[in-house]
Chains A and B, each alone.
Chain A
Amino acid sequence: MNLLPLIVVFPMFVAIIFNYLNGKDKLIRPMTLLMAILLLALPFIGSYGIYNFGAHGLENGLISGISYLYTPVKQLIITVIMLIGSLVLITGLGEKKSNGLFVALMLMGLASVSAVVMADDLFNIYVFYEIAAIAQTGLVIASGTEKAYRAAFRYLILGNFAGSILLLGVSMLLAATGTLNISDMHNFLLNNPSTPTIYGGLLMLIIGLCYGSGLPPFHTVKADIYARAKPFIAAMLQTYSKFVLVALLLVIFKLFGGLSYFTSTQGVLIALSVLGMVFGVVMALLQNDYKKLLAYHAISQGGYVAAGIALGTPLGIVAGIFHAINHVIYKSALFLGAHLVERRNAGNLNKLGGLLPVIPATAFMVLCAKLAISGVPPFNGFQSKLLLAEAAMNVNMPELAIIMILVSIGTFVSMMKAFYLIYLKPCSQEQIEEYKKAKPSKYAVFSLAVLTFLCVLLGIFPSLATDIIYPFANEIGRVWTL
């Protein structure tokens, strides 16, 4: 019995129950812990291959219903999503209020992003993409500050626009090809001449992709919601958008890969990702607010992921997906570190300082994550950035590799600045006494430790992840040089 749909349906089912339970505090905590453990088992209940909903498979050579395609790569991605989700849920237990609605929205987001990753059907992707957008808005609002409300409102308004554009694109592609299944649509596009409708559909898919993942021109909106949400929630938000980015980019590749007009699209995607990288890091260097700094770095690293996959070579796709996985791990660790610092009630970097003797273990783990994001050898960020640079060199684009290295240096500078200002800067004795009063939450430290361990593990043994991705990338990628 193939239980694949339960990966999506089970979290949603439990989300509704949690919504109903909101307010019954004693029940929520143990249930959240149970859910956090159950989530880790979810990716392993399905078997690989095509899954047709409602048993509507091939008829007249076309897949008539909705189908999911489950492969080892998707299993890896969903495992990472669920892992981060369960760690964030555990961190949420450390809050003063136990909050059923927060858990419900988290589970909705987890379910919908894994549906976007698994689906082999364009309209299904759109539907779950919308759920993810609304759930993210809710998670930002959960902070309950005026700025969070404003950021969420902006995100929702732009989301309406971008979601409708994506829907229009899907409908155009449906009209032009007569099917919604991605594999069938690809076959149709290969064997038939292209029309302006198909170009329009492609353009609109790219706009939906940019909104879902925070590439320019939507980067400020996305960075705003990361910065305004509570930091441990922001860890989840950026995980959602990274994997929506990976999933939608791979969908575009699957649809249009191998077509003559796709090379120019690849150029556009690479340009967008370079803009994302550079804008992100430049804005991050300017920030005084730690959360905003991290938020803009999330945008910049999203640019790396997009650049890797947009190159379209097998190595590039491996590097892109591997970097997405690494990125969600170390950036979640950084956001959790920010969460531990935020309990000392400051977002402004200039007001902090001297935290090293107060929380030495956390400081060490955050330092590890900071080195990982800047691409320093024993950590996972180094491995994937190396692969990315290699992929860029292989297609004869040394400029891209140089931009990546420069952006990495910018990342290192701003991260070390933040580390100095938070942990090392000398500060008065009274302030240290005040810091010592606020106990760090054990749950957050535990999650941070798990993530740091993963950073080192993937840094030393990158083949744990890349071995799974290589066969898939060889299948979908195309070797080319400039």
Chain B
Amino acid sequence: MTQKREIAVFLSFVFFGSAILYSIFNINVVEGVNYIYTQNYIVPNLITAVLFDWRGFDTLGECMILVTSVLVTGMVFGRGLFETEFLKEVYSESNEESDTETGFTSIIKVLAMPFSILLMSLGVSIILGGHITPGGGFQGGSLIAAAYILSIVAFGSKTPVKFKHHFLESLESFGAILFMTLGVLGIIVSGYYLFNFGDLFGYPVFLSPSGLENTGIIPYLNIAVGLKVLAGLSTITFLLTGEKVVKDYIVRE
């Protein structure tokens, strides 16, 4: 029985894989809408223009994927469950505090701290310059989160770069809400959601140095996405590392 099953699985993998490979092998790219994207000059950085101007609503959706994943991750560890008996059983078994502090040499600790600070500064600069350089909110935000993860891995939950869990959560909500509010502002200005307006009542919304195009609200959208991503990824990591958080959730209810 199991052998037959394995053969069936194998055959379906072969058929499906060959179908994918065959169609990828025959790709013949049609330029289509790309032509429009490359001809219109909105921001010096083309990718940012496509991400935040033409397809800004997709970026909002991607942010929301992250928001929902953070909600669900919190839920896995006991936040907002209808019943918590199951989790109480699971966590009552392991009472001893297990910390990742043991096992890492002091060399790692000495190197990790400056490195993660450097990474954070780099992330901030990538977010702030997202509209003129390659990169943007998502990349910068994940860099900052990576720095935070690095410090957690090296120092355990007693890391010097410590954010309060609730602070991270409000940061994330703030990022997502800022993005949506900027979109609604577009409706008020022009009637279209996520409209990229350059000036509000005659004042430019973002002061850029001379020689650059008026980038409109794109820098603000970058900052919103950056906040959201850095807080979201950090929250997930924090939840995965700290057993304390889980106990907090369950005890509080």
Point out residues on A near B: beta carbons under 8 Å. 1-3, 5-6, 9, 12-13, 15-17, 19-20, 22-23, 52-56, 59-60, 62, 64-66, 95, 97, 99-102, 104-105, 108, 112, 115, 123-124, 127-128, 130-131, 134-135, 137-138, 141-146, 149, 168, 172, 175-181, 184, 188, 195-197, 199-201, 203-204, 230
16 A-B contact pairs sorted by A residue (CB < 8 Å)? A1-B191, A9-B184, A53-B194, A54-B196, A55-B191, A64-B36, A65-B54, A66-B57, A102-B82, A124-B61, A135-B72, A142-B81, A149-B86, A175-B29, A184-B33, A200-B19
- Summed over the interface, the residue pairs from A and B with CB atoms below 8 Å come to a total of 197
In chain B between 41 and 92, which residues have their CB closer than 8 angstroms to a CB of chain A? 53-58, 60-62, 64-65, 67-69, 71-72, 74-76, 79-87
Q: Which residues of A contact B190 (CB under 8 A)?
A: 55
Closest chain A residue, CB of each to CB of B70: A19
Report how far A138 CA is from B82 CA in the complex, Å. 12
Report how far A298 CA is from B149 CA in the complex, Å. 43
Q: Which residues of A contact B187 (CB under 8 A)?
A: 1, 3, 5
Most buried by A among B54, B60, B68: B68
| B102 → A minimal CB distance (Å) | 30
Closest chain A residue, CB of each to CB of B87: A144
Report how far A63 CA is from B74 CA in the complex, Å. 39
What size tier do the contact residues of chain B reach? 35 or more
Are B80 and A176 in contact (CB-based, < 8 A)? no
Report how far A366 CA is from B65 CA in the complex, Å. 36
> With A54-B194, A55-B190, A143-B82 in contact, do A60 and B36 touch (Cβ < 8 Å)?
yes
Q: Which residues of B contact A5 (CB under 8 A)?
A: 57, 183, 187, 193
Q: Which residues of B contact A6 (CB under 8 A)?
A: 184
Report how far A131 CA is from B64 CA in the complex, Å. 7
Binary per-residue interface labels of chain B (16-29) against chain A in the complex, 1 for a CB within 8 Å, 0 otherwise: 00011011111111
Q: Which of B24, B80, B176 contacts A100 (CB 8 A)?
A: B80
**Residue B170 interfacial (CB < 8 Å):** yes
> With A177-B32, A200-B24 in contact, do A108 and B54 touch (Cβ < 8 Å)?
no
Closest chain B residue, CB of each to CB of A59: B36
Most buried by A among B19, B75, B253: B75
**Residue B201 interfacial (CB < 8 Å):** no
**Residue B104 interfacial (CB < 8 Å):** no
Closest chain A residue, CB of each to CB of B29: A175
Are A101 and B71 in contact (CB-based, < 8 A)? yes
In the A-B complex, the 7 residue pairs with the closest CB atoms: A178-B32, A200-B23, A101-B80, A127-B61, A178-B30, A144-B81, A144-B83
> With A3-B187, A20-B170, A66-B55 in contact, do A99 and B80 touch (Cβ < 8 Å)?
yes
Are A145 and B33 in contact (CB-based, < 8 A)? no
Report how far A236 CA is from B111 CA in the complex, Å. 50
**Residue B252 interfacial (CB < 8 Å):** yes
Report how far A395 CA is from B169 CA in the complex, Å. 56
Are A138 and B54 in contact (CB-based, < 8 A)? no
Report how far A52 CA is from B60 CA in the complex, Å. 15
Binary per-residue interface labels of chain B (169-196) against chain A in the complex, 1 for a CB within 8 Å, 0 otherwise: 1100100110010011011001111111
Are A141 and B75 in contact (CB-based, < 8 A)? yes
Are B177 and A16 in contact (CB-based, < 8 A)? yes
Q: Which of B22, B28, B60, B82 contacts A176 (CB 8 A)?
A: B28
Are B64 and A53 in contact (CB-based, < 8 A)? no
Are B86 and A144 in contact (CB-based, < 8 A)? yes
Q: Which residues of A contact B72 (CB under 8 A)?
A: 105, 134-135, 137-138, 141
Report how far A138 CA is from B180 CA in the complex, Å. 23
Closest chain B residue, CB of each to CB of A148: B86
Report how far A138 CA is from B173 CA in the complex, Å. 18
Q: Which residues of A contact B65 (CB under 8 A)?
A: 127, 130-131, 134
Most buried by B among A3, A134, A145: A134
| A331 → B minimal CB distance (Å) | 21
Most buried by A among B26, B54, B82: B82
Q: Which residues of A contact B71 (CB under 8 A)?
A: 19, 101, 104-105, 108, 138
> With A16-B177, A64-B36, A199-B23 in contact, do A145 and B74 touch (Cβ < 8 Å)?
no
Report how far A67 CA is from B99 CA in the complex, Å. 50
Are B80 and A20 in contact (CB-based, < 8 A)? no
**Residue B97 interfacial (CB < 8 Å):** no
Q: Which residues of B contact A142 (CB under 8 A)?
A: 75, 80-82
Q: Which residues of B contact A149 (CB under 8 A)?
A: 76, 86
Are A197 and B23 in contact (CB-based, < 8 A)? yes
Q: Which residues of A contact B24 (CB under 8 A)?
A: 172, 197, 200
Report how far A168 CA is from B192 CA in the complex, Å. 30
Q: Which residues of B contact A66 (CB under 8 A)?
A: 54-55, 57-58
Are A101 and B54 in contact (CB-based, < 8 A)? no
**Residue B167 interfacial (CB < 8 Å):** no
Report how far A22 CA is from B81 CA in the complex, Å. 11
> With A105-B68, A138-B68, A172-B23 in contact, do A62 and B61 touch (Cβ < 8 Å)?
no
Closest chain B residue, CB of each to CB of A52: B192
Q: Which residues of B contact A144 (CB under 8 A)?
A: 81-87
Report how far A17 CA is from B176 CA in the complex, Å. 10
Report how far A320 CA is from B134 CA in the complex, Å. 47
Q: Which residues of A contact B106 (CB under 8 A)?
A: none
Are A176 and B27 in contact (CB-based, < 8 A)? yes
Are B177 and A123 in contact (CB-based, < 8 A)? no
**Residue B115 interfacial (CB < 8 Å):** no
Are B33 and A64 in contact (CB-based, < 8 A)? yes
Q: Which residues of B contact A128 (CB under 8 A)?
A: 61
Closest chain A residue, CB of each to CB of B12: A217
Q: Which residues of A contact B98 (CB under 8 A)?
A: none
Closest chain B residue, CB of each to CB of A163: B65
Are A54 and B75 in contact (CB-based, < 8 A)? no
Are A102 and B80 in contact (CB-based, < 8 A)? yes
Closest chain B residue, CB of each to CB of A105: B71
Closest chain A residue, CB of each to CB of B193: A5
Report how far A6 CA is from B192 CA in the complex, Å. 11
**Residue B163 interfacial (CB < 8 Å):** no
> With A97-B82, A101-B74, A142-B81 in contact, do A54 and B29 touch (Cβ < 8 Å)?
no
Closest chain A residue, CB of each to CB of B83: A144
Q: Which residues of B contact A104 (CB under 8 A)?
A: 71
**Residue B35 interfacial (CB < 8 Å):** yes
